[in-house]
Amino acid sequence: MEEISLHYAPRETGWIEVICGCMFSGKTEELIRRLRRAEIARQSVSIFKPRIDKRYSDDHIVSHSDDRLKSVVVDSALEIPPLCKDAHVVGIDEGQFFGMELVDVCESLANEGKRVIVAGLDQDYRGKPFEPMPQLLSIAEYITKTLAICMVCGNPADRTQRKIHQGDRVLVGAKDIYEARCRKCFVPPAE
């Protein structure tokens, strides 16, 4: 699904869209593109990101190509519902850094009639499903998987290769620490 046309969008109900993929695949760019279009259509848009992501800019969601939109930084997914009561559209970036609470939050926002768009990594640096993204994919109406280009061979890439040895699941960084790899070139870390 490239875009939900306004003509075909569900009526009088909310829904969930998930944009997932590896790093450098354009997830945040795609999220920003959809949110901008909603703003152009004069819909009320609320945008959130978890506090853990201190890259580049504190109160914006920012793509690797430096496209940005103003967002609210929250410590927990539970802070989101009271902050977006009047929103038609709720955008959430870096969904993988929220806990499993994000699943129920998205479900109830969609049940209230909101369009909920979540972007996030669907695999961690080991190539394993990165909760809560798998659970969100299961309950979403619309799913987009963005692919990057493998830094080694140029194939379409869906994995995030960590270039340094560090065992924490969350290690914030960009091109200095990570690169996109395809299935063939991805090397999972030694356990």
Closest distance between Zn ion and the C-beta of residue 185, in Å? Answer: 3
Q: Is 48 helix (H, G, I), strand (E, B) or coil?
A: strand
Q: How many residues does the chain have?
A: 191
Closest distance between Zn ion and the C-beta of residue 181, in Å? Answer: 6
The H-or-E segment that residue 38 falls in is: helix 27-40
Closest distance between Zn ion and the C-beta of residue 125, in Å? Answer: 16
- Closer by beta carbon to Zn ion, 22 or else 105: 22
Cis omega (within 30 of 0) on the bond before 82? Answer: no
User: How many Cβ atoms are within 10 Å of 182's Cβ, its own excluded?
Assistant: 21
- Rounded Cα–Cα distance for residues 49 and 41 (Å): 23
Catalytic residue of the set 29, 30, 39, 94: 94
Q: Which residues bind Zn ion (CB under 5 A)?
A: 150, 152-153, 155, 182, 185
The yes-or-no answer on residue 179 being catalytic is no
Cα 92 to chain centroid distance, Å, stands at 6
- Closer by beta carbon to Zn ion, 119 or else 180: 180
- Closer by beta carbon to Zn ion, 137 or else 147: 147
- Closer by beta carbon to Zn ion, 105 or else 180: 180
The residues pairing with 164 across neighbouring beta strands, listed in sequence order, are none
Which tokens belong to 147? 């692919």
- Rounded Cα–Cα distance for residues 67 and 16 (Å): 23
Closest distance between Zn ion and the C-beta of residue 14, in Å? Answer: 38
The catalytic residues are 94
